[in-house]
Amino acid sequence: GAHSSIIVSARLLDLHVVVVASDETGRLTATALARTLAELEADDRLQQVVAVVAVAGSTNAGLIDDLAGVGQLARRHDIWFHVDAAYGGAFLCVPSVRATFAGIELADSLIIDPHKGLFVPYDCCALLYANPGPVTAAFTQDASYLEQINQSQQCNPMHYAFHLSRRARGVPLWFSLAVYGSGAYRHTLEQILDLSARLRTRIACHPRLTLIPACGLSVILFRREGWQARDYDDWAQRCLRDGIALVVPSSWQGETVMRLCIMNTRLDEQRCEALLADL
């Protein structure tokens, strides 16, 4: 369930990616990770492990890995623990689902995309470190025009990620929080989760649809009886053309399915009814 950028970053760093088998719902668990680490240790490769990546709200299905178990195991082996909460991290402010993120506090690094669940313009992204001190050794770049900046004692974002020049992406998030407060975000995301739950129930009761239980937060995966990959794509294109919804087919365990991700607070029951009726 890890985001594709994890693979890309590993390739840029000339690192080998070890894929850990997920459980029946598609989640990374401490049990499976322990098994993989034991296999690496048997091959005398455990000391080569750089980091463990878990997901808190996978892009495809909205699943949250076993963060507590994986984080504790990573800490026991002194392995960097990174949590990809790009999509799901916004829901941390919703009390009803906060417990499902248990263990996220063990992360050495954490990413959240406010341009997803926190409703600010693309491409606002937040990278957080539990202990930013040692990170500068990994990211500080050397060049004659950077010498004075590198010697400065002031905190500089260029020392905490690959890119140097950047615009102030965090300003829209700060401004929105300053104007509306965190309570507005919590209320809005609660509405989205409520609408997602009601739509799941409608799909589960639909005579021609099958809900895939292994999905969470505001992501909904389902099958349409008798449909093939082309049928899903045709329906998605028609929904877009008719202004009903932007929906995109995806895959689950090798099978083409339909994926809905509810993030629009103005989505109402009438639009949902139109969507299901078109099926």
Residue 161 is classified by DSSP as S
- CATH code where residue 234 lies: 3.90.1150.10
Question: What is the reported pLDDT for 161?
Answer: 87
Cβ atoms of 63 and 158 within 8 Å: the answer is no
For 129-153, b where at least 16 C-beta lie within 10 A, e where not — what string? Answer: eeeeeebeeeeeeeeeeeeeeeeee
> Which parts of the chain register pLDDT below 70?
none
Question: What is the reported pLDDT for 221?
Answer: 96
- Domain assignment present for residue 28? The answer is yes
pLDDT digit string, tens, across residues 122-145: 888 899 999 998 899 888 999 999
Q: Any idea which residue has 């970053």 for tokens?
A: 9
d(CA 258, CA 255): 10
Question: What is the reported pLDDT for 251?
Answer: 92
Q: Kindly state whether residues 112 and 186 are assigned to the same domain.
A: no
Q: Kindly state whether residues 100 and 191 are assigned to the same domain.
A: no
Q: Kindly state whether residues 194 and 270 are assigned to the same domain.
A: yes
Total domain count, the chain? 2
Question: What is the reported pLDDT for 129?
Answer: 96
| Prediction pTM value | 0.91
Amino acid, res. 47: Q
In sequence order, what are the residues at sequence separation of 6 or more whose Cβ sits closer than 8 angstroms to the Cβ of residue 260? 199, 219, 220, 221, 222, 245, 247
- Domain assignment present for residue 236? The answer is yes
- Domain assignment present for residue 38? The answer is yes
- Domain assignment present for residue 161? The answer is no
The residues that bridge with 261 in the sheet, in sequence order, are 219
Q: Nearest to residue 52, comparing CAs of 61, 62, 69, 99? A: 69
φ, ψ for residue 49, nearest 5 deg: -70, 125
Q: In what order do the strands lie in the sheet with 219-224?
A: 209-211, 219-224, 255-261, 248-252
Question: What is the reported pLDDT for 39?
Answer: 96
The 10 Å Cβ neighbour count of residue 123 is: 10
Q: Which domain holds residue 97?
A: 4-125+169-180
Q: Kindly state whether residues 108 and 190 are assigned to the same domain.
A: no
What percent of the chain has a predicted confidence (pLDDT) above 90?
68
- Domain assignment present for residue 238? The answer is yes
Question: What is the reported pLDDT for 230?
Answer: 95
Q: Kindly state whether residues 200 and 112 are assigned to the same domain.
A: no
| Token code pair at residue 27 | 């989640």
Domain stop point among 180, 214, 245: 180
Q: Kindly state whether residues 114 and 13 are assigned to the same domain.
A: yes
- Domain assignment present for residue 157? The answer is no
d(CA 211, CA 225): 11
d(CA 129, CA 46): 24
Q: Kindly state whether residues 214 and 248 are assigned to the same domain.
A: yes
d(CA 204, CA 182): 33
Question: What is the reported pLDDT for 174?
Answer: 93
Q: Kindly state whether residues 52 and 111 are assigned to the same domain.
A: yes
Question: What is the reported pLDDT for 222?
Answer: 96
Q: In what order do the strands lie in the sheet with 51-55?
A: 51-55, 80-84, 109-112, 126-129
